[in-house]
Chains A and B, each alone.
Chain A
Amino acid sequence: MNRPVLELRNISKTFPGVKALDSVELQLYPGQVTALIGENGAGKSTLVKVLTGIYAPDGGEILIDDAPVTMQAATDAKRHGISAIHQEAVMFDELTVTENIFINNQNRNIFGLLDWKLMRKRAKTLLEYLDVNVDPNIPLRELSVAHKHLVSFAAALSVSSSIVIMDEPTASLSHHEIQELYRLVRRLRDEGKAILFISHKFDEIFEICDRYTVFRDGQFVGSGGIADVTQDDLVAMMVGRTVSQIYPKEQTTIGDTVMSVKGLSHPSEFADIDFDLRKGEILGFYGLVGAGRSEVMQALFGLTPTSSGSMELNGKPFKPRTPGDAVDQGLVYVPEDRQHQGAILTLPIFQNITLPQLGGLSRSGFIDMAREYDVAREYATRLQLKASSLSENVENLSGGNQQKVVIGKWLATNPNVIIVDEPTKGIDIGSKAAVHKFMGELVAQGLSVIMVSSELPEVMGMADRVIVMHEGRIAARFERDDMTAEAIVTAATGA
């Protein structure tokens, strides 16, 4: 085998409370596609950020062509011939496609001014190479999610690089677009580029990767040739445990319909949403990022107005105009983005927990602090919140404990239906288990839970039924017994 073009040795990166990378290693070889495999939270995205100069590692060495290099900023990565397609949309909606592609890699004319004519031409060529039919002169915000993604590919390819990193490149692509992507990856590979392909879809890994590296909980587990392993081997390396152990799904008796939604539509975000929710069940909503799941949930919670459709809650018509209406009728929403939508970080824990029911805790306009504390203490205990005191500000808590505060805040209103949007996104494994266990307890007590999640194992492990959304519509429904990972993913990608 030839020598690696890029080699990482003992790379570590620690964030407050989390060891994101713990002495990991990685080799990339020219003309080969290396898969980086691991569960969410295994450290893949952190590694990408280290490789692209967004994060500086705490320790370890990065070698390019056997020479140690330092990465201080994104420009260093570019200088060393590393280009990356990031998982998150790190693009500029207000700029045009051409401006996005050449944001840090412009052509100049003889006066030293930007040569937009040449760049537009190059953008067109790049987009044609990628087989994307978009006008390079329109603002990025007018493109679909998939097209935006392809524009970010064009941006990565506009730089001449020897190493290309793709962080879950197929996440928002349709089946046809994925085939196009494979062709592109093979072409880049045949041009001699070293490709790091991050994915947790095994079919992709076996289809186009030559080598694999597995991380688990921030640690290097193993690497080798893809031809020498089976899917079961990789799964064993990734999880180190089986799915039923991770998800403490409790058997519950499912009762009558609590909520029913018929033909719910929105002018631009979703259409024809029909479903029933029964007492004591967890209903999973799966879909790709941007499929419209959160928008539907916001409509149920009275945050987004709908254009048509009807809803019933506890047998009564349910038409929330504000979140306050929804809470009064027993439906609460734990949003995805804790920091922005869920908790008020600069307020103490107890005030966060009692925020939705201050009216009930007040006497002639003054808040009864003692009762406020009692309520907060009760839910903090039920959720096993770890904090030095209930007067501590939420911003000082770990991600998992912040999530507990947000859930506790809504539970304290005694709802019948609780919607949790990506309940375990970005929190550590231990807190995840606590949140999952707690959801199991909630349904056992007779609550109904709608769980929006992009994590397939979580959906399959926790939900009694799963609704899959694609481009604002319901694409498929599955009962617990007949759901398979393949069927769910196929429905979600619209394939």
Chain B
Amino acid sequence: MKNTSLLGKMISHREWLLGAIIVLMLMGVGYIAPFFVTPGNLAEAFDDTSILIMLACAQMLVILTRCIDLSVASNIALTGMCVALFNVAYPDTPALVTLILSIGIGIVLGAFNGILVWLVGIPSIVVTLGTMSVYRGFVFLISGGEWVNAHEMTPQFLALPRATFLDLTVLSWIAIAVTLALFVFTRFTKTGLSIFAVGGNPKAAVYSGINVGKYQFITFCISGAVAGMCGYLWVSRYAVAYVEVAVAFELQVVAACVIGGISIAGGIGTIWGAALGAIFLGLIKNALPVIGISPFWQLAISGLVIVLAVIINSRSEKCGGRRILREAHQ
């Protein structure tokens, strides 16, 4: 009954399959362009992927509850602009305070999505499609369409994500910490378990005394908090804040989740899957130019991989189906 072949196991344990593919890709790229797999370059590629990893892990929680948060990229732009303007107005603010401020703004934006989903009962795709535009519009309103450039930002503001510790940037360390924290959250807290329950079987969740809407709200708050924090990290890493920051980035975030084996139907997924999905996309983005493949191929390859991932997802869901007949040897 159980699929014991190596391939079957790989398919049912998406993390291993993805991990193996990533290692194979690294070996392949390393063969053509050895400098790519030097520790320094890998650290750089990881730094470049950090924001995507964090957003994918947070998005996964939302998707687990059968929702989706399309407003994360606009949240990044709005929060990023807010903290950049704040930095211009109050240059003496320590970077850590700015970081906390960005998380706070992000939570508010996420909670707004969550309230519309929970208490007003609007489908999340509609809510976040709306707030995606609303938040992006606010960026224009508060900035007047102007850019905040590097020379207007204080050195402290710019330094935080770039500072290095043990050969990795602080941005990379934050991504690792967020991933670990969300792993503990999903595996070892009542809220985390309830999130799986809500998406796995909402009806059974109600019978178990779990308030479906409340947990959806919580995941939107988490997604908002992470997006807000990434807003500051993005603006300071690229040293510029403007209206079009991170445009369409939400699609990459959702793609990372799908590649990582998170079921769009809810209830199935792991933090490792989401993180590896993001790393996979980051690897494609960073490795393909190195081996001389056009950026347009990157888009096509990412797209193909997403379709492939969805096919594998639906296969593995079929494998685990209900069986009525007893096995012959019983």
Give chain A nearest CB distance to B193 CB in angstroms: 6
A142 proximal to B (CB < 8 A): yes
Asked if residues A52 and B196 are in contact (CB atoms below 8 Å), the reply is: no
Give every chain B residue within 8 A of A116 (Cβ-Cβ): 187-188
Interface residues on B, range: 20 to 34
Give chain A nearest CB distance to B324 CB in angstroms: 4
1/0 per residue, CB under 8 A from B, across A317-351: the answer is 00000000000000000000000000000000000
For the complex with contacts A73-B211, A92-B196, 7 further pairs of A-B residues with Cβ separation under 8 Å are: A90-B208, A95-B196, A113-B188, A116-B188, A268-B323, A471-B325, A472-B324
Rounded to whole angstroms, the CA-CA distance of A396 and B208 in the bound complex is 30
B200 proximal to A (CB < 8 A): yes
Q: Which 6 A-B pairs give the minimum distances between C-beta atoms?
A: A74-B209, A90-B204, A75-B209, A113-B188, A472-B324, A90-B207
1/0 per residue, CB under 8 A from B, across A129-155: the answer is 000000000010110000000000000
1/0 per residue, CB under 8 A from A, across B215-251: the answer is 0000000000000000000000000000000000000
- Using known A-B contacts A86-B207, A94-B196, A114-B190, determine if residue A268 contacts B325 with beta carbons closer than 8 Å: yes
Asked if residues A268 and B204 are in contact (CB atoms below 8 Å), the reply is: no
Within 91-115 of A, Cβ neighbours of B (below 8 Å) are at 91-95, 99, 103-104, 106, 113-114
1/0 per residue, CB under 8 A from A, across B307-330: the answer is 000000000000011111110000
B267 proximal to A (CB < 8 A): yes
Give chain A nearest CB distance to B20 CB in angstroms: 23
Among the stretches A287-295, A375-383, A444-452, A476-484, the one at the interface with B is A287-295
Asked if residues B324 and A73 are in contact (CB atoms below 8 Å), the reply is: no
Rounded to whole angstroms, the CA-CA distance of A266 and B324 in the bound complex is 10
Asked if residues B197 and A74 are in contact (CB atoms below 8 Å), the reply is: no
Output the residue of A103, A139, A291, A471 with the most chain B CB within 10 A: A103
Asked if residues B204 and A114 are in contact (CB atoms below 8 Å), the reply is: no
Within 273-307 of A, Cβ neighbours of B (below 8 Å) are at 290-292, 295
Rounded to whole angstroms, the CA-CA distance of A73 and B201 in the bound complex is 17
A269 proximal to B (CB < 8 A): yes
Asked if residues A471 and B207 are in contact (CB atoms below 8 Å), the reply is: no
User: B190 — nearest CB in chain A belongs to which residue?
Assistant: A106
Give every chain B residue within 8 A of A89 (Cβ-Cβ): 204
Among the listed B209, B210, B325, which residue makes an inter-chain contact with A271, where contact means beta carbons less than 8 Å apart? B325
- Using known A-B contacts A54-B207, A103-B208, determine if residue A94 contacts B189 with beta carbons closer than 8 Å: no
Give every chain A residue within 8 A of B203 (Cβ-Cβ): 90
Give every chain A residue within 8 A of B194 (Cβ-Cβ): 103-104
Residues on A facing B (Cβ under 8 Å): 52-54, 73-75, 77-78, 86, 89-95, 99, 103-104, 106, 113-114, 116, 139, 141-142, 266, 268-271, 290-292, 295, 471-473
B163 proximal to A (CB < 8 A): no
B184 proximal to A (CB < 8 A): yes
Give every chain A residue within 8 A of B299 (Cβ-Cβ): none
User: A78 — nearest CB in chain B belongs to which residue?
Assistant: B209
- Majority secondary structure of chain A interface residues (helix, strand, loop or mixed): loop
Asked if residues B325 and A91 are in contact (CB atoms below 8 Å), the reply is: no
Asked if residues A142 and B320 are in contact (CB atoms below 8 Å), the reply is: yes
Among the listed A73, A139, A268, which residue makes an inter-chain contact with B209, where contact means beta carbons less than 8 Å apart? A73
Q: What are 17 residue pairs bridging A and B, where the CB atoms are less than 8 Å apart in the complex?
A: A52-B207, A53-B209, A54-B206, A73-B211, A91-B201, A95-B197, A99-B196, A103-B197, A106-B190, A106-B193, A113-B189, A114-B193, A116-B188, A269-B323, A292-B324, A295-B324, A472-B326
Rounded to whole angstroms, the CA-CA distance of A116 and B193 in the bound complex is 11
Give every chain B residue within 8 A of A104 (Cβ-Cβ): 194, 208-210
User: B207 — nearest CB in chain A belongs to which residue?
Assistant: A90
B268 proximal to A (CB < 8 A): yes
Give every chain B residue within 8 A of A53 (Cβ-Cβ): 209
User: A268 — nearest CB in chain B belongs to which residue?
Assistant: B323
Rounded to whole angstroms, the CA-CA distance of A271 and B320 in the bound complex is 20
